[in-house]
């Protein structure tokens, strides 16, 4: 069975997609932008945006019955690879001693001109 996951604690999708989908105990999130769900705003720095994006990932996973410690793979999209170290420092604080597999790529542009977007694959 395939289930749609939506979190009332995360910002609304900015297009025709779901926060996440779950099938056979696997959760696949859409890319989470650094939109603060309380204000609808994005912070100015990549580090602050990474924190908001990861908080949104956490909220979506929790809505689906999962958690950050159950993430198997992340993909981090950066507007500028010069922000790699700053984003890594924030990213590391969201995990215990075991980090998920990860890809990190620089992209030409992200929705709403964000500097960071993060998607994950997790188990339930």
Q: Which residues pair with 45 in a beta bridge?
A: none
* Cα–Cα distance for residue pair 61/68, rounded to 1 Å: 7
* Contacts of residue 103, Cβ cutoff 8 Å, sequence gap at least 6: 73, 74, 75, 76
DSSP structural state of residue 17: -
**Catalytic residue check, 5:** no
Which residue in 21, 63, 68, 104 is the catalytic one? Answer: 104
Catalytic residues, by residue number, are: 104
């Amino acid at each position: 069975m395939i289930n749609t996951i939506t979190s009332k604690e995360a910002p609304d999708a900015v297009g025709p997609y779901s926060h996440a989908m779950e099938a056979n105990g696997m959760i696949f999130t859409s890319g989470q932008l650094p939109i603060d769900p309380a204000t609808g705003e994005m912070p100015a720095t990549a580090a602050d945006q990474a924190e908001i994006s990861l908080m949104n990932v956490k909220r979506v996973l929790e809505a689906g019955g999962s958690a950050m410690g159950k993430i198997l793979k992340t993909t981090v999209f950066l507007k500028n690879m010069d922000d790699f170290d700053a984003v890594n420092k924030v990213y590391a604080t969201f995990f215990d001693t075991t980090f998920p597999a990860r890809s990190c790529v620089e992209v030409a542009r992200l929705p709403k001109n964000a500097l960071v977007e993060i998607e994950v694959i997790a188990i339930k």
